[in-house]
Copies of this chain bind each other. A is one copy, B any other.
Amino acid sequence: MESVFTNYIKENIDFVHKELTRFLNSLPIPQNLKKSMLYSVEAGGKRLRPILLLASYEAFKKEDEKRTKIISSMAALEMIHTYSLIHDDLPAMDDDDLRRGKPTNHKVFDEATAILAGDALLTYSFEIIAKDSLLTDAEKVRIIQMLSSASGPKGMVGGQILDMEAEKRTVSLEEMENIHDLKTGELLKFAVGAGAFLGNATEEQIKELKNFAYYLGLIFQVQDDILDIIGDENKIGKATGSDELNEKSTYPKLLGLEGATKKKDDYVQKAKLSLLKVGIEDSPLSALTDYFSVRDY
């Protein structure tokens, strides 16, 4: 599936990948730890989160401002996303052998190394922001506030716990939305918020963009649930039907396939309304919203 945002990804994915691995390659650390960190970071997919941060930054920045300013935030965000996948895949958690068609970190290395590689990526993400010479102290502090809050117990980690607790029982739509908001949405809010902040958006715009990112996360999730039923396994890179097998609460389970699609369209409208309110309805963020909604992998 080609779209405006697919092109945007294509144009920027190498840039993100290069900067990300540069941070890791420069680290003077034990070989095996570096290999393990790099393995999962290099196995990264479409780099949606950092590219979302980039798109948000470009929607606000002045023409002559360079993207070098957001590199550390993009890298930190992708490192935190990667650490969460490594820990998620562990036998004690989802016990996954494959991730994007490749063996998971603890299968290639061992569980102890995978746990520590995750810990290292999480910790290092704060270091690269704190040591970015292109940011002012005020900018570093704000970015670290946003990132720690989004990824910690009030954010992503809290969502993981709620998600575990919700397994194998039927939850309400409201509860499910809350779980997705924390588990997936918070990092998307960081991506959009940090990009806007570094692009000098107003505080009011940053606040409204939280609504945008909230719906964006839910759109992503509905489509994930739908693809688990009607998606093409070869394209997605993992087996479909796992949600039903695991008795997971999903949008199609709660609302039916048609109801889930309707809900998704509703979220798309709300997300675009937020962009309109902020005054960036023609930015790549709008194309991204469509992309999240119709992606087939």
Contacts and interface: CB of A to CB of B under 8 A. Distances in A.
Contacts of A118: 119
A123 B153 contact: yes
A137 B118 CA distance: 28
B124 A152 contact: yes
A110 interface: yes
A165 B115 contact: no
A119 to B, nearest CB: 5
A207 interface: no
A46 interface: no
A122 B121 CA distance: 12
A1 interface: no
A36 to B, nearest CB: 9
Oligomer: number of copies: 2
Interface centre among A28, A118, A126, A158 (most CB of B within 10 A): A126
Interface stretch (A138-146, A189-197, A229-237): A138-146
Interface in A107-152: 110-113, 115-116, 118-120, 122-124, 126-127, 130-131, 136-138, 140-141, 144-145, 148-149, 151-152
A123 to B, nearest CB: 4
Contacts of A116: 87, 157, 160-161
A29 interface: yes
A77 interface: no
B153 A37 contact: yes
Contact of A124 (B93, B113, B148): B148
A27 B164 CA distance: 20
Contacts of A149: 127
B92 A157 contact: no
A27 B144 contact: no
A154 interface: yes
A13 interface: no
A27 B153 contact: yes
B137 A110 contact: no
A137 to B, nearest CB: 4
Leading 5 A-B pairs by shortest Cβ distance: A92-B111, A123-B152, A127-B148, A137-B137, A120-B153
Interface of A: 27-30, 32-34, 37, 83, 87, 90-93, 106, 110-113, 115-116, 118-120, 122-124, 126-127, 130-131, 136-138, 140-141, 144-145, 148-149, 151-154, 157-158, 160-162, 164-165
